[in-house]
């Protein structure tokens, strides 16, 4: 790849444009389809809403920010929790409300700047919440890795998950260039092939069935699911979105550094957040998971030095086209659960580790009793399954649990605990 930089607004010849767009599709594909597979949503709908949401984002930001939007991992606990308790349509409704909340915050930022956001969500709160998000998912990853279809422990499943995890680790640590950007996709394909050939050698362990792929038509619209709304789901997703808003700030900053521009100023943080929020609401209206700007695609731009928003837009169009090819959607759904478990063992740990990195890189001082107290309470409530619930009458119940409750408590503690007293931890 040439070291010549391709600018944000530069339009390349078609022979270069299409391959470069496909690179971004490969980078986002594994993670984007993993979220619906973990939560029970439709992978084709996720591809459709990722592509169309990216196009919406490009429109709202005036085609000034080269960012691809894909499925957000931060909302997985909320989707699984609300979906299990109330039904998936209510989880989608919560995601719509989260997108609207993004838009409200974008309006406040437009009017008053970001100083208040730094006060409400300092690194000590955000870092601890991100740790909670990752570790909350740890039991899900281990269940997929160790258990068979009947829910009982399976050495076969563990073998598949271990192989997939090993490939993911090798790809992450040792692969170079573009291949280092797509370790999830490499591990997914490798684990799939390992399971397929194991099934050929030992028919009793066959986990992949192509019958649905053969029966599926070539083209159709994804199986969309419309949202329903409830107070409980809405509150849960709004609280979790406080953490993802902070994640958005970081992604925009990193993208600015990679491209060599200041997207906080132009088109402005209010427009990037509005684009993210409306893309999330749009995705949920069509049965897809909430969207977020993808670090994988930022990595592709850093490697290739191609920052063209036309290339990102091309990738979005390709994602939409792939979502309409029904056989691809059916093939995605044949991915064995242990393969997803192996990938998740690494991926969910990385989410938690990114929270630790936030705490370290922002210089949070844990010799300070205040910081130690805030982060400790957040992590125990979030990981321990804390829950606040009470009846509202007429059969209604208010409930705040897990990540959502931990975030609220952390914000309150951060706002009320004084900073002026001597809070150093004794050695």
Strand partners, 71: 291
SS3 206: coil
389 forms bridges with which residues in the sheet? 399
Q: Give the per-residue pLDDT at 395.
A: 57
User: Using one digit for the tens of pLDDT, what is the confidence trace for 104-163?
Assistant: 999 999 998 878 877 888 889 888 888 888 888 788 889 889 988 788 899 999 999 999
Length reported for the chain: 427
Residue 263: name the closest of 35, 16, 66 by CA: 66
Across residues 318-322, what is the average pLDDT? Answer: 92
- 25's CB contacts (< 8 A; 6+ apart) are 315, 318, 319, 322
Tell whether 133 is covered by a domain: yes
Q: What is the mean pLDDT of the segment spanning 312-327?
A: 91
Confidence grade of residue 2 (pLDDT, cut at 50, 70, 90): very low
Check: CB of residue 382 under 8 Å from CB of residue 374.
Answer: no
Does 254 map to a domain? yes
| CA dihedral of 77, 180, 164, 42, whole degrees rounded to 10 | 40
Dist CA 368 CA 423 (whole Å): 5
- Give which of 23, 327, 334 is closest to 188, Cα–Cα: 334
On whether the CB atoms of residues 177 and 303 are closer than 8 A, the answer is yes
With respect to residue 5, please indicate whether it lies within any of the assigned structural domains: no
Residue 376: pLDDT band with limits 50, 70, 90: very high
Q: How far apart are CA 415 and CA 151, in angstroms?
A: 44
pLDDT average, residue stretch 394-399: 61
Element spanning 162, H or E = helix 155-174
Residue 76 class from Cβ within 10 Å (0-12 exposed, 13-18 middle, 19+ buried)?
buried
Q: Is the pLDDT of residue 399 over 80?
A: no
How far is Cα 400 from Cα 409, in angstroms, rounded to an integer? 11
DSSP at 140? H
Asked if residue 427 has pLDDT above 70, the reply is no
**Sheet strands (E) in 5-66:** none
- Total domains, the chain: 1
Has residue 265 got a pLDDT over 70?
yes
Rounded mean pLDDT of 314-321? 93
Measure Cα distances from 162 to 134, 142, 150, 352 in Å.
Answer: 19, 11, 20, 20
Locate tokens 């997929």: which residue? 144
Residue 421: inside a domain? no
In angstroms, how far is CA 264 from the centroid of its own chain? 22
Judge whether 426 lies within some domain.
Answer: no
- Contact predicate 365/375, CB 8 Å: no
pLDDT of residue 340: 83
Q: Return the DSSP state at 266.
A: I
Whose tokens are 């957000």? That residue is 72
Distance (Å, rounded) from C-alpha 136 to C-alpha 385?
A: 9
Whether pLDDT at 401 is above 80? no
Find, among 231, 186, 242, 212, the residue nearest to 407 by Cα: 242
Domain annotation covers residue 385: no
Strand segments (E) across 19-163: 69-71
Residue with tokens 């422990």: 153
Position 56 scores a pLDDT of: 97
Phi, psi (deg, nearest 5) at residue 385 = 80, 35
Tens digits of residue pLDDT in 66-85: 999 999 888 888 898 889 88
Average pLDDT over residues 14-42: 84
Q: Are 259 and 243 in contact (CB under 8 A)?
A: no
Q: Quick one: tokens of 415?
A: 């706002």
Give the pair of three-digit tokens for residue 278. Answer: 């409306």
Contact 127, 356 (CB under 8 A): yes
Q: Is residue 27 part of a domain?
A: yes
Q: Is the dihedral of CA 102, 110, 292, 254 positive or negative?
A: negative
Q: Using 50, 70 and 90 to split pLDDT, how confident is the model at 423?
A: low
Dihedral sign, Cα of residue 249, residue 255, residue 256, residue 261: negative
Share of the chain above pLDDT 70, in %: 95
Q: Which domain holds residue 259?
A: 14-364
- Position 67 in a domain: yes
- Work out the angle between the directed axes of helices 138-146 and 123-136 (0-180°, nearest 10): 20
Which is higher by pLDDT, 169 or 2? 169
Nearest CA to 121 out of 353, 349, 292, 374 is that of 374
How far is Cα 366 from Cα 374, in angstroms, rounded to an integer?
10
How many CA atoms, within 13 angstroms, populate the side-chain half-sphere of residue 164?
34
pTM: 0.78
């Amino acid at each position: 790849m040439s070291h010549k930089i391709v600018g944000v607004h530069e339009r390349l010849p078609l022979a270069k444009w299409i391959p470069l767009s496909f690179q971004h599709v490969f980078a986002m594909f594994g993670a984007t389809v993993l979220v619906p597979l973990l939560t029970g949503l439709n992978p084709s709908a996720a591809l459709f809403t990722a592509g169309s949401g990216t196009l919406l984002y490009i429109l709202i930001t005036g085609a000034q920010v080269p960012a691809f939007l894909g499925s957000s991992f931060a909302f997985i606990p909320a989707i699984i929790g609300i979906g299990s308790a109330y039904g998936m349509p209510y989880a989608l409704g919560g995601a719509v409300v989260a997108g609207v909340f993004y838009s409200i915050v974008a309006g406040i930022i437009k009017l008053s700047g970001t100083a208040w956001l730094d006060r409400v969500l300092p690194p000590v709160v955000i870092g601890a919440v991100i740790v909670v998000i990752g570790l909350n998912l740890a039991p899900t990853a281990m269940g997929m890795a160790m258990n068979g279809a009947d829910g009982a422990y399976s050495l076969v499943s563990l073998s598949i998950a271990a192989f997939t995890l090993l490939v993911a680790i090798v790809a992450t640590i040792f692969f170079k260039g573009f291949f280092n950007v797509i370790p999830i996709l490499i591990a997914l394909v490798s684990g799939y092939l390992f399971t397929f050939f194991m099934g050929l050698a030992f028919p009793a362990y066959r986990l992949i069935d192509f019958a649905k792929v053969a029966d599926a038509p070539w083209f159709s619209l994804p199986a969309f699911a419309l949202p329903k709304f409830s107070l409980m789901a809405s509150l849960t997703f709004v609280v979790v979105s406080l953490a993802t808003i902070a994640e958005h700030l970081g992604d925009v900053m990193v993208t600015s550094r990679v491209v060599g521009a200041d997207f906080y100023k132009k088109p402005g943080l209010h427009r990037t957040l509005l684009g993210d929020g409306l893309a999330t609401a749009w995705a949920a209206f069509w049965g897809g998971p909430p969207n977020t700007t993808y670090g994988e695609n930022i990595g592709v731009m850093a490697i290739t030095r191609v920052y063209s928003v036309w290339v990102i837009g091309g990738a979005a169009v390709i994602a939409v086209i792939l979502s309409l090819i029904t056989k691809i959607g059916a093939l995605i759904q044949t991915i064995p659960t242990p393969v997803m478990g192996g990938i998740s063992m690494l991926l969910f740990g990385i989410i938690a580790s990114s929270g630790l990195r936030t705490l370290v890189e922002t210089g949070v001082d844990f010799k300070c009793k205040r910081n130690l107290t805030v982060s400790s309470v957040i992590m125990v409530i979030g990981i321990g399954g804390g829950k606040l619930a009470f009846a509202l009458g007429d059969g209604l119940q208010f409930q705040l649990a897990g990540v959502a409750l931990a975030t609220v408590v952390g914000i309150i503690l951060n706002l009320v605990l004084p900073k002026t007293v001597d809070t150093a931890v004794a050695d």
